[in-house]
């Protein structure tokens, strides 16, 4: 990843926020047939392992867990807020006309080693945690206990758990830090008006 110094994101809090708020990661692997990527929603535990631990499940029919047996090194990409930025949003453009379009975004590359968990107990606990987390905002959160036990058993038998102990996180926050404060802040305000609240907040915070 091209990583200019002024766009490098080294704050653990910021990196963890991006992963937690955008948990659908792209697992990049390299096997006998070349490069591949699987899109998987992850649970993230920042306290486990050198740089945190990612946990997820994939369909048993998905060959990821067979292509990447325990001990395989992988990279998982998490893309946060992103949007097009017009030069017209920079006040300085209207004075000098020396601005061009760009694209602002936040991204984290997480590197680590896979452990495969083909265990009903491990997968059941993971699914329970993921369900509690993602159903928490529902008026009436769904629980596994609402479905017949034999149905849940069958569904769980069709998935396999994967755990990735992370060794490092590499982050990039391209938030107009290389522009004048007035340009960055006006672009953030315009993005907010377009419904891009998350990116606007990050851009405002980039000047702190």
pLDDT tens digits for range 17-50: 999 999 999 999 988 888 999 999 999 999 999 9
pLDDT at 123: 98
Q: How confident is the model at residue 105 (pLDDT cuts 50, 70, 90)?
A: very high
DSSP H or E run through 21? helix 12-21
With CA atoms as reference, report the closest residue to 166 among 3, 1, 58, 12.
Answer: 12
pLDDT reported for residue 106:
98
> Quick one: pLDDT at residue 94?
83
Rg (CA), the chain: 20
Mean pLDDT of 121-127: 97
- Chain segment 161-173, per-residue pLDDT in tens: 999 999 999 999 9
Collapsing DSSP states into helix, strand and coil, what is residue 97? coil
Average pLDDT, the chain: 95
Distance set, CA 150 to CA 8, 60, 111, 170 (Å): 49, 18, 37, 43
Residue 155 CA to residue 158 CA, distance in Å, equals: 5
Q: State residue 96's pLDDT score.
A: 86
Superfamily of domain 5-87+96-177: Electron Transport, Fmn-binding Protein; Chain A (2.30.110.10)
Q: Which two tokens stand for residue 114?
A: 């896979």
- Specify the pLDDT at position 32: 83
Q: What is the pLDDT of residues 59-102, one digit of tens each?
A: 999 999 999 999 999 999 999 999 999 999 999 878 888 889 99
Residue 92 CA, distance from chain mean position: 33
Percent of the chain with pLDDT over 90: 92
DSSP H helices, 78-207, are 93-96, 120-135, 149-157, 181-193, 197-205
Residues 2-11 have a mean pLDDT of: 95
pLDDT, residue 184, reads: 95
Give percent above pLDDT 70 in the chain. Answer: 99
What pLDDT was estimated at residue 85?
97
Overall average pLDDT of the 154-181 stretch? 97
pLDDT at 208 over 70: no
- What is the domain partition of the chain in residue ranges? 5-87+96-177
């Amino acid at each position: 990843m091209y990583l200019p110094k002024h766009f490098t994101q080294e704050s653990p809090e910021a990196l963890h926020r991006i992963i937690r708020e955008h948990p659908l990661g792209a697992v990049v692997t390299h096997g006998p047939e070349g490069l591949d990527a699987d899109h998987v929603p992850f649970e993230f535990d920042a306290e486990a392992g050198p740089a945190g631990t990612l946990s997820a499940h994939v369909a048993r029919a998905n060959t990821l867990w067979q292509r990447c047996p325990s001990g395989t090194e992988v990279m998982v990409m998490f893309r946060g807020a992103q949007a097009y930025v017009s030069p017209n949003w920079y006040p300085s453009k209207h004075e000098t006309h020396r601005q061009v379009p760009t694209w602002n975004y936040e991204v984290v590359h997480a590197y680590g080693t896979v452990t495969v968990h083909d265990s009903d107990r491990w997968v059941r606990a993971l699914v329970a945690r993921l369900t509690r987390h993602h159903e928490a905002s529902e008026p009436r959160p769904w629980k596994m206990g609402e479905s017949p036990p034999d149905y849940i058993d069958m569904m769980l038998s069709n998935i396999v758990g994967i755990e990735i102990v992370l060794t490092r996180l590499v982050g990039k926050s391209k938030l107009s830090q290389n522009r004048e404060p007035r340009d960055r802040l006006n672009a953030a305000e315009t993005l907010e008006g377009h419904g891009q609240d998350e990116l606007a907040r990050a851009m405002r915070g980039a000047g702190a």
